[in-house]
């Protein structure tokens, strides 16, 4: 990159992305993390339903054949629900900590993040 127009082509988009990173860190991260928490909860719930569906079908078939469910079916369901509960708690704790940290970001910290984003983009474009 020895030509000035090549440098301008690399620097201008990096500065725009750095400014966007500043705006994102300063004003948009906290609401996005709140929405991410809800979306992550929905994703874990869908995964749990997918894991419990075979157990449900097996239990229904067992009840039709023998009149009672297989003894391991309830253990499997309890284990899946325990893992899902742990996943909810872990995700909630991590996202709550991230949201708390993001809410404490001031203008200088967000500007530092924007400059770091600009430096990374410039390094990546020249590498």
Residue for token digits 């509960």? 85
| Contacts (Cβ under 8 Å, ≥6 apart) of 48 | 80, 81, 84
The band of 45, judged by pLDDT with boundaries at 50, 70 and 90, is very high
Q: Is the pLDDT of residue 1 over 80?
A: no
Report pLDDT for 14: 81
Confidence at residue 9, expressed as pLDDT on a 0 to 100 scale: 81
The pLDDT tens digits for 74-96 are: 899 999 999 999 999 999 999 99
Stated pTM of the model: 0.70
- In this model, does residue 7 exceed pLDDT 80? no
Residue 70 pLDDT greater than 90, yes or no: no
Q: How many Å apart are CA 31 and CA 66, to the nearest integer?
A: 52
pLDDT in tens, 17-44: 888 889 998 899 999 999 998 999 999 9
Q: Give the Å distances, CA to CA, from 28 to 31, 110, 126.
A: 6, 11, 29
Q: How far apart are CA 55 and CA 85, in angstroms?
A: 18
- Segment holding 46, helix H or strand E: helix 29-66
Alpha helices in 1-127 (DSSP H): 4-23, 29-66, 71-103, 107-126
pLDDT at 2 over 70: no
């Amino acid at each position: 990159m020895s030509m000035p127009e090549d440098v301008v082509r690399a620097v201008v988009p990096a500065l725009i992305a750095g400014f966007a990173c500043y705006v994102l860190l300063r004003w948009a991260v906290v609401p996005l993390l709140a929405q991410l928490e809800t979306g992550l909860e929905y994703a874990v719930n869908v995964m749990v339903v997918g894991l419990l569906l075979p157990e449900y079908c097996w239990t229904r078939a067992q009840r039709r054949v023998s009149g009672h469910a297989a003894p391991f079916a309830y253990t499997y369901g309890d284990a899946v629900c325990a893992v899902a509960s742990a996943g909810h708690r872990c995700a909630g704790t991590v996202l709550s900590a991230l949201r708390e940290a993001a809410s404490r970001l001031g203008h200088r910290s967000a500007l530092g993040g924007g400059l770091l984003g600009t430096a990374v983009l410039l390094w990546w474009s020249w590498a």
